[in-house]
């Protein structure tokens, strides 16, 4: 009888631990990202918060500095009405191009510049052959 109780208690502890690990993994993977409009609409209440922002890289806004390790560019919303300046330090993926959609993860400073720690270019909706 005592061995059965130990087995049952051990099983319950393992199930609780697995449930907790599954919940924390899902919560981390299901991070919502904002659009440029949503970020700018929140005003100063989000300064210093870590977040993800989706936007389109404005054509002509990309500047490369510090031997290719610092990038400055601007992302805009879908209709191009509002824009957000971004600074990213690191290696840029091959699919990062002007005019393409991108998701940046980082912190919005009180100066209105988004300090990106992660840069995730999104795949274009359709691929076209090179001419």
pLDDT tens per residue, range 17-76: 998 888 877 766 666 788 999 888 888 888 888 899 999 999 999 998 867 689 999 999
Q: Which CATH number fits domain 32-121: 2.40.50.140, 3.40.50.300, 3.30.1370.10, 1.10.630.10?
A: 2.40.50.140
What's the pLDDT tens digit per position in 81-103? 899 999 999 888 888 889 889 99
Rg (CA), the chain: 21
Whether the predicted model's global pTM rises above the 0.85 cut: no
Give the whole-angstrom CA distance, residue 52 versus residue 117.
10
């Amino acid at each position: 009888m005592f061995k059965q109780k130990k087995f049952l208690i051990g099983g319950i502890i393992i199930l609780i631990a697995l449930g907790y690990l599954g919940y924390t993994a899902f919560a981390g993977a299901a991070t919502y990202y904002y659009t440029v409009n949503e970020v700018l609409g929140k005003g100063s209440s989000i300064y210093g918060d870590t977040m993800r922002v989706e936007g389109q890289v404005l054509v002509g806004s990309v500047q490369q500095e510090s031997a290719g390790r610092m990038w400055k560019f601007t992302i805009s919303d879908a209709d191009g009405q509002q824009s957000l300046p971004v600074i990213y330090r690191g290696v840029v993926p091959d699919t990062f191009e002007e005019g393409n959609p991108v998701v940046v993860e980082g912190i919005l400073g009180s100066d209105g510049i988004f300090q990106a720690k992660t840069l995730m270019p999104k795949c274009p909706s359709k691929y076209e052959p090179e001419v």
